[in-house]
Structure formats: structure tokens, C-alpha cells
Amino acid sequence: MGRGPKTVLALVFLTLVARDSLAFHLIGCTEANDCDLTCGRRWLDGSVSYWINASFPDTAISGSSEEQIDFLRCAADAWRAQSRADFEFIYAGTTTRSGLNTNDGVNTLSWVDAHGGDALAVTLLKPGTQNGSASEFDIVFFATIGDDEDPSTIHWSGPGEPEAGQFDIWGVAVHEFGHGLGLHHSQTFEATMFRSAISRGLPLRTLDPDDLQGLQCLYGTRTEAAPVVELLSISPAMGPILGGTEVLLEGANFSYASGSQLHIDGAALEREFWEVESCSMIRIHSMPPHPSGSVSIQLDNDIGSVTLEDAYVYAGPQPEILTITPSEGFNTGGTVVEVHGENFVDGALVTIDDKALLEQNVVDVSTITGVVPETLVEGAVDVRLEQGEDEWVLPGGFTYKARPRFTRGDANGDQEHDLSDAIHHLATLFQGGPEGPCQDATDTNDDGVLDISDPITLLNYLFQDRETLPAPFPEPGLDPTPDSLGCDG
């Protein structure tokens, strides 16, 4: 190996070190510089093939071989999909080769059962015969790091996002592929090509402008179009209004869920309901309930934002109103009702005689609560449910009654104010006499309670020259103060 023609190998290490807060741009990478020498070395034809040995042993954390391959391919693809540079990694397939051997003509990525010390992973780059060119590379991911006497197993995380003590295969691989295409380390703290990993390597999945600058420095520009995140398909594209459907989104430049946000019809979908499975696949575990009709799906991440209009159609089952309890109330409004039925979801609108139920709340799929609005109408009216494109009517489902008019203090209902009213109320209170026809009228002081203070108030009015009583008085009218007392008129 060491006796061949001039061979220059570049070993590059992603080390697990604390990052400093100060940052520079990629070393020396300006248009005025010789990029080959300052930014790294390049593959002269702008592309390079690679093989994967998906051998991470802890499949419970790292995922199946197929999943590992997906993550590693995403890492390689990131350098094209997220950039405008004229470079491409070409996946050639799987291999059983592992380790570092830059004389076998095979560019491999493998996990090795070896101690990395301070290094999580290593890329070995063999320059080509032309100055500034590359001709071969290998990448290894180590099994352990830390002190020789007390090495720590590196828990390589595949599916989902790495937990404490784990490192992201995908993110770390993006960094190592960066070396594989020829980049040196960046001195920009946020860059994927910075020498160390933070946040378990997850943010390394998304290239920093400094990484992209270095890449274009080496390979030039293939397109003027900025990289975008894309949503290309959704499957299935239809589901019930009650939600719960598992949905797969296919697209490009998906990154990691905690750095992204998914919106269904403009509403953010909570993280627990979806995950990024690869750079081209998002799985929504359970679509949220939604009224019938088509909705948009929007994805935001560090690369950009994309909205797929009419991406998904909510359809069926038909929502129905079965009963409303109570089914009657005064037309002055204020009656609290429960609407019972089937297949209610958030966004449902209940109207009574075309007036929206106030303070509506979809309690569950079978119950909506609300407050009956005020109206001038008397008698039975329709109760209507509008839920997306669905509609349901309960004909005559609610009956408005006119609220009775009364005169304050007229406890016995004889339309006079005299001693008999006080005696009637006292008899009711202390002798078990019958109640008067209208509790509101008997509530002479309008405190919402029927007690001894009411006849006293009336007696004061009659015999102590009190000027007036609470409304309605002296003419009949409606009770201006809400209370729990009734009045049958």
C-alpha cells in the first residue's frame, strides 16, 4: 500500500468533542482561492459510487438492515438533494466488505467492532493522481468510544430520533459522506462538516450554508434553482372523518421531525402522531379527526416549506343528530343543551333555526354542548348540523317557548300588590302552603332566593313608603336578572 505511486490519504474524523461557540466559515473557501486545496479534494467526474455494509448490530436501536440502508442512502443523497452543486453519490448496492481499505476499488461504509477512542466514525480518502482529486474512500462507524479502560458502547440510532446516549446514524453519515466527497472540516459551529456532533448528531442531517458553499466550491453549480422540500404523493389519500388512518407521505428533503412541522389543513399535527422515516418518507400514524372534505398538508423544515393542496379527502361516515336535551327552552335564550348523535368532530356547527348554538363544544363523537341563542321565534324549529361537506337536519328538534311576563312582588298572581301577597309567601314558607304561579314574581327582592326577606321587602314597600321594587315593576315584563327560579306565567 505504501509502495505504490504517490499516494496521499486523507483521514478525517468526526470526533465527539465539546463544540466551541465561536465559528468561522469553511476554511479558505472563497472564489478567489484554489478550492481544490483549501476546501478539499474532488471527484473529477462529479459523481462517485458507494456500497453499504448495513452491519450495525443492535437492530433494536439501529433498525433493520433495510432501514439502515435507507438512512445511509439519505445521508449520501443529502449532498445533492439539498444543494445546487454538480455532484452526486451513486448507490451501488450492498457489500460484505468492511473497514478501511482504499486499494480495493470499492468505496464502502460499514460498522466495525473497534474502539474509536475520541472518534465516532472515520473516513479514509485516497486522493487521485491528479492534483486535488480523489480516487477512493471508505467510512467506518466505531463500536465504542471513550477511555481505553472504560469504553462506552456507541448506540447508533436508526429509526425515529436518538435518545440520550445515542447517536444518529443518518446525521453522522452525512458528515462522513462529506469527507468522502472531499470536504475538509468546517469551522462553522452549525455546519454538518464541523468536527464534532451535538444533539446526538441529529441536526447534521440538514446541510448548513457553509457546507453548501464548500460543496459548490469543489463541484460548481448544476442548477440555479434552490433546493426545496417536496411532497409528491400521499397514500391513502382518503379516510374517515373520525381520523385514525395511517398515511404515508412521499417526497424529498425530509429531515427530522423535531426540526420540522407538519400541518393538516393549517393545524399543526402533534409530534406523537407522525415521524420522518427517511429523507423521502413520512409516516402519519393516525390522521386527526376532521370534517368531511379535502384538506391541505404542509411540511416545514430547515430546507423550506411545501404545501400540497387538496392532498387528503375526509369522507364518511355521515354525522347525525339524534336528540337534543332539553328539547325546549325560552326564546330569550340561555338554555344549556346537549346535542346527541353520531360522528361529530371538531369543526362541527350546530344551528337552531339557523342561529348558531353558542359556546359550542364537541365533547366527543356523540355529544356537542352549547347554549341556545335568543330569538323572537316561538314554537318548534329545526336543529341543523353542518360538518364540512356533510349536513344533517333534525326537523322540529327544538321548541322555543316565550318567556312569561310577570310583575315583581305579585306572589299570588292576582295582579295586585297588597298584604295578601306577603301572606301567601309566608304561608308557603312556614305553613306548607302552595307556591305561587311564578317564583320570579315571589322573589320580591330579586336576589334569586325565596326566603323571609321577600315578604319583608314587600311589606316595607307597602307600609314603609318604599318607592319601588326591582324590575319588572310596576308593569309586567321579563326578568332582567338571570337566576334559577322559574315562572309559568
Q: In the set 28, 46, 146, 470, which binds another protein (CB under 8 A)?
A: 146
- Sole window of 3-11, 77-85, 313-321, 421-429 interacting with another protein (rule: CB under 8 A): 3-11
Q: Angle CA(21)–CA(23)–CA(26) in degrees, nearest 5?
A: 150
**φ, ψ of residue 79 in degrees (nearest 5):** -70, -15
- Contact call for residue 3 and another protein (CB under 8 A): yes
- Contact call for residue 13 and another protein (CB under 8 A): yes
H or E element at residue 210: helix 209-219
**Hey, how many other C-beta atoms are within 10 angstroms of the C-beta on 282?**
23
Q: In the set 7, 296, 323, 460, which binds another protein (CB under 8 A)?
A: 7
- Contact call for residue 358 and another protein (CB under 8 A): no
Q: 115 vs 263, which CB is nearer to another protein?
A: 115
- Contact call for residue 80 and another protein (CB under 8 A): no
H or E element at residue 80: helix 65-81
- Sole window of 111-119, 288-296, 356-364, 468-476 interacting with another protein (rule: CB under 8 A): 111-119
Q: CA 129 to CA 131: how far, in whole Å?
A: 6
Q: CA 385 to CA 368: how far, in whole Å?
A: 10
* CB distance 325 to 318 below 8 Å: no
Rg (CA), the chain: 38
* CB distance 231 to 308 below 8 Å: yes
Q: In the set 73, 175, 185, 408, which binds another protein (CB under 8 A)?
A: 185
We find the least distance from the C-beta atom of residue 20 to another protein, in angstroms, to be: 5
We find the least distance from the C-beta atom of residue 95 to another protein, in angstroms, to be: 15
- Contact call for residue 145 and another protein (CB under 8 A): yes
- Sole window of 7-15, 271-279, 391-399, 459-467 interacting with another protein (rule: CB under 8 A): 7-15
Give me the helix-helix angle, 419-430 and 453-463, nearest 10°.
160
First to last CA, the chain: 108
How is residue 487 written as a grid cell? 315562572
- Contact call for residue 147 and another protein (CB under 8 A): yes
Q: In the set 48, 75, 124, 284, which binds another protein (CB under 8 A)?
A: 124
Q: In the set 61, 92, 106, 112, which binds another protein (CB under 8 A)?
A: 112
The candidate with the shortest Cα–Cα distance to 156, out of 174, 148, 139, 144, is 144
**φ, ψ of residue 319 in degrees (nearest 5):** -75, 145
* CB distance 78 to 276 below 8 Å: no
From its phi and psi, is residue 446 left (phi > 0), alpha (psi between -120 and 50) or beta?
left
We find the least distance from the C-beta atom of residue 135 to another protein, in angstroms, to be: 14
Query: In 401-480, which residue ranges form alpha helices assigned H by DSSP?
Result: 419-430, 439-442, 453-463
Residue 332 CA from chain centroid, whole number: 41
Beta carbons within 8 Å of 488's beta carbon, 6+ residues apart: 404, 437, 438
Q: CA 2 to CA 20: how far, in whole Å?
A: 37
Q: 167 vs 398, which CB is nearer to another protein?
A: 167
- Sole window of 179-187, 226-234, 300-308, 346-354 interacting with another protein (rule: CB under 8 A): 179-187
For another protein, the binding residues in 191-250 under the rule CB under 8 A are 195-196, 198-200
For another protein, the binding residues in 148-167 under the rule CB under 8 A are 148, 152, 164-165
We find the least distance from the C-beta atom of residue 224 to another protein, in angstroms, to be: 32
For another protein, the binding residues in 17-56 under the rule CB under 8 A are 17-24
- Sole window of 97-105, 242-250, 348-356, 450-458 interacting with another protein (rule: CB under 8 A): 97-105
Residues in the interface with another protein (CB under 8 A) total: 52
* Residue at grid coordinates 330579586: 446
Q: In the set 33, 90, 99, 322, which binds another protein (CB under 8 A)?
A: 99
Q: 2 vs 434, which CB is nearer to another protein?
A: 2
Beta carbons within 8 Å of 33's beta carbon, 6+ residues apart: 39
We find the least distance from the C-beta atom of residue 45 to another protein, in angstroms, to be: 23
We find the least distance from the C-beta atom of residue 9 to another protein, in angstroms, to be: 4
Site residues for another protein per CB under 8 A: 1-13, 15-24, 98-101, 112, 114-119, 124, 138, 140, 145-148, 152, 164-165, 184-185, 187, 195-196, 198-200
